[in-house]
Amino acid sequence: MSSGWKGILKQVAPTIATALGGPLAGGMVKKLAGALLGNEEASEAEVEKAVLAASPDTFLKLKEMETEYAKFVLDHGLNLEKLAADDRGSARNREVAAKDSWTPRILATVVVGGFLWTLYVVLAGSVPGMKDPNTTVLIGTLIGYASAKADQVISYYFGSSAGSDRKTELFNRKT
């Protein structure tokens, strides 16, 4: 299970969590801000804080939003996976049109290499003060961030499957 506020949303309101990962993310953050904070102009950080400090009433609001959003998607015949695929496709078409094959490769190498280097440094015990809780939290955050970025690079080059995610979700529900 993923951690953090989006992980909580994935468990409580999976359709909303899916929208946060696609082209509708900005609008969904506004809707969440309006429902949870009463202010659609609140920042994503404020929404994150509200979800992480959620009360049972907050979870109820999220479930209601989930139901309303799912109904909206059905009523309007929206195919969220197609929207997300089109969004990724337009980004890749832009890259092809730009005819710049080196920049993404260099960035991907730096991101994945940086992640592997960070892991090596930590696992080799090269970080002084690892017994200090503040240092440990900082290192854990750094590894989590680097891991997420490396995952994005891998997904970009090798793809990610919404069907695979759905299969995993169904399997987890059965178990």
Output 22-29 pairs: Cβ under 8 A, ≥24 positions apart: 22/80, 22/83, 22/84, 22/87, 23/83, 23/84, 23/86, 23/87, 24/80, 24/83
Question: What is the chain's alpha carbon radius of gyration, rounded to the nearest angstrom?
Answer: 19
Question: Alpha helices, DSSP H only, in the chain?
Answer: 4-12, 14-20, 25-37, 44-52, 56-75, 80-98, 102-123, 133-158, 162-174
Tell me, what's the pLDDT at 1? 40
Maximum separation of any 2 CA atoms in the chain, in Å:
57
pLDDT digits (tens, 9 = 90+) for 4-55: 888 888 888 887 887 787 666 778 888 888 888 888 888 888 888 988 888 8
Predicted confidence band of residue 116 (pLDDT cuts 50, 70, 90)? very high
N residues, the chain: 175
| Dihedral sign for Cα atoms in the order 140, 143, 149, 153 | negative
> According to the model, what pLDDT value does residue 23 have?
66
Write down the pTM of the prediction: 0.43
- The gap from C-alpha 175 to its chain's centroid, in whole angstroms, comes to 24
Nearest alpha-carbon partner for 28 in 58, 6, 49:
6
- Give the whole-angstrom CA distance, residue 96 versus residue 83: 20
CB 22 within 8 A of CB 84: yes
Handedness of CA 18, 19, 23, 25 (dihedral sign): negative
